[in-house]
Amino acid sequence: MSNQIRANSILPAHREEIELHTADGVTLVGELARPLDREPVATLVCLHPLPTHGGMMDSHIYRKAAWRLPALAGIAVLRFNTRGTSSVRGTSGGSFSNAVDEKFDVAAAIEYAEFADLPNIWLVGWSFGTDLTLMYGLDPAVTGAILLSPPLRFSQPEHLDAWAADGKPLTAIIPEFDDYLRPAEATERFAAIPQCDVVPVEGGKHLWVGDAETILDEIVRRVAPEVATPLPTTWDGPIETGDMNAYADRTTAAFKPLDG
């Protein structure tokens, strides 16, 4: 019997709570979700939106990626709370550092994925996480990166230049009605990176509410092009149900405007 995949649907996967240990001595909490019956074809390391405005490892795109992609696409999903960030999983050590000491968090996540022999590692940054990706994501273990709603707030032109020089594949997915960087300006700004694919999403907004399926399809097309998209909307097998109430306060907080 086919079951409809809904916002709170959790498909089968091997899920384990993990800890990341940074070079400056901070312990970060996270989760690794892997396919249940096969080796992963690719790995997502998820860098979440601004924690002072509700961003966390459970921000809805990443939650749905972890709940669906291991089963639907054979993709492993590593998500974690950057320093000082809390979610249902727990609170990471340290405190928010305005994209400075978070460089250690990014490095720890990449190192964990590498030491776990996870294949084809891609960074997926969202909002604040895109700045962390551009600033600290050029690691030899990383295949490429995908940016969701990049505000280009902390990252600087020299970071774009570094990605251009390195040549790793980069995709910037830009909502039509973004609060910070819309498609026309994004095309201009990312022209500094010749290999960057700028993908506008008609009707999209910064938080991608209602667009999760579109974003997951775009991610899968890049990290696992052999997987057919659009992804299925039904599942022939067991489905668990997640508690959406656990995230309501964080969703509301994410609508607060950025300072400065």
pLDDT digits (tens, 9 = 90+) for 14-56: 999 999 999 999 999 999 999 999 999 999 999 999 999 999 9
| pLDDT the model gives residue 249 | 55
Reported as a pLDDT band with limits 50, 70 and 90, residue 248 is: low
Closest CA to 93 of 2, 188, 101: 101
What is the residue-wise DSSP string for 218-253?
A: HHHHHH-TTS-SSPPSEEES--EE--GGGGHHHHHH
Domains of the chain: 2-253 (3.40.50.1820)
Which residues contact residue 240 at a Cβ distance below 8 angstroms, ignoring those fewer than 6 apart? 9, 10
Which residues are registered as beta bridge partners of 10? Answer: 240
pLDDT digits (tens, 9 = 90+) for 134-147: 999 999 999 999 99
Q: What is the pTM of this model?
A: 0.94
Reported as a pLDDT band with limits 50, 70 and 90, residue 66 is: very high
**Percent over 70 (pLDDT), the chain:** 94
Classify 119 as helix, strand or coil.
coil
| pLDDT the model gives residue 243 | 82
Which residues contact residue 181 at a Cβ distance below 8 angstroms, ignoring those fewer than 6 apart? 149, 150, 151, 152, 174, 189
Tokens of 77: 């999903």
**How would you write 75-87 as a 3-class SS string?**
EEEEEECCCCCEE
